Amino acid sequence: MSKIWLITGASRGLGREIARAARDAGATVVATARSPAAVREAFGGEQDRLHAFALDITDAQAANAVASEAVERFGAIDVLVNNAGYAELGFFETFTEAAVRRQFDVNLFGTMNVARAVAPHMRARRSGLIVTISSVSGLVSNAGGAIYSASKFAVEGWMEGFAQELAPLGVRSLLVEPGMLRTDFMDGASARFGSIDIPDYAEAVAQYRAFVDRANGSQPGDPARLAERIVALAAQDPPPARLVFGDDARQWAGAKIDQLRQEIAQSADA
């Protein structure tokens, strides 16, 4: 029997690739985005096993409505892929309070809205998988990524605990922590930059913007390959708790682990 996948942010980038890979593997896909027309355009129209739904994940009522409609139409939600999100890139003090709150409203609270809408259906069936697209930036933070990392660190802490609450009820979890992927994530269609000019940071901010411009479109990670990995792991019982994807992500995460080990050792009582 065909599995039912619900994917957020499915009109472009990694979400689109996951929707395509799940469909090609035989799943029925509920592909959501703020604009369902963008989903249909990405996939050449509505298809037998791919259905476009409108969803702004910051709207909790809309998330509940989409989850209920998906269950009513297709009988279940077997896999939720919480993928929708964006990045505020730049130095912390260059962001307004509103920009910071918007980052958390989407990346954390929006993701929570969708999980809260879907989890009861999975609990009732004692079955399901929640795939949460985080980032290696949820494990490691650097200058220029403080706000984005803060939102992803929060996602990691929430989902790590929530997964343990769900596990006894038959609902599994997979946290995905990619490195830099070749998507439009770093261009103006997704990423946003701080709007406050601070002379002390001017040179460093200019260098950071130049780095982002150079990296955009030439990132090492292949989103289609990651999508295939996610679909394969979703069929694995049980899936791993985490997938750290990409040589860059594994290098950065490994360096953070080494740093933590050293700092823990240094923290020991003499």
Active site residues: 134, 148, 152
Residue 200: count other Cβ atoms within 10 Å of its Cβ.
Answer: 9
Residue 263, strand partner residues? none
Residue 192: count other Cβ atoms within 10 Å of its Cβ.
Answer: 17
Q: Where are the alpha helices (DSSP H) in the chain?
A: 13-24, 36-43, 60-74, 97-104, 111-125, 146-166, 202-215, 223-234, 247-267
Q: Any idea which residue has 């030439």 for tokens?
A: 218
Whether the CB-CB separation of 196 and 88 falls below 8 Å is answered with no
Class of residue 49 by CB neighbours under 10 A (exposed 0-12, middle 13-18, buried 19+): middle
Q: What is the DSSP letter of 109?
A: I
- For residue 32, which amino acid is it? T
Cα distance between residue 32 and residue 68, in whole Å: 14
Helix (H, G, I), strand (E, B) or coil at 52: strand
Peptide bond just before 239 cis, omega within 30 deg: no
Six-digit token string for 13: 């980038």
Class of residue 210 by CB neighbours under 10 A (exposed 0-12, middle 13-18, buried 19+): exposed
Sign of CA dihedral 97, 101, 102, 103: positive
Helix (H, G, I), strand (E, B) or coil at 110: helix
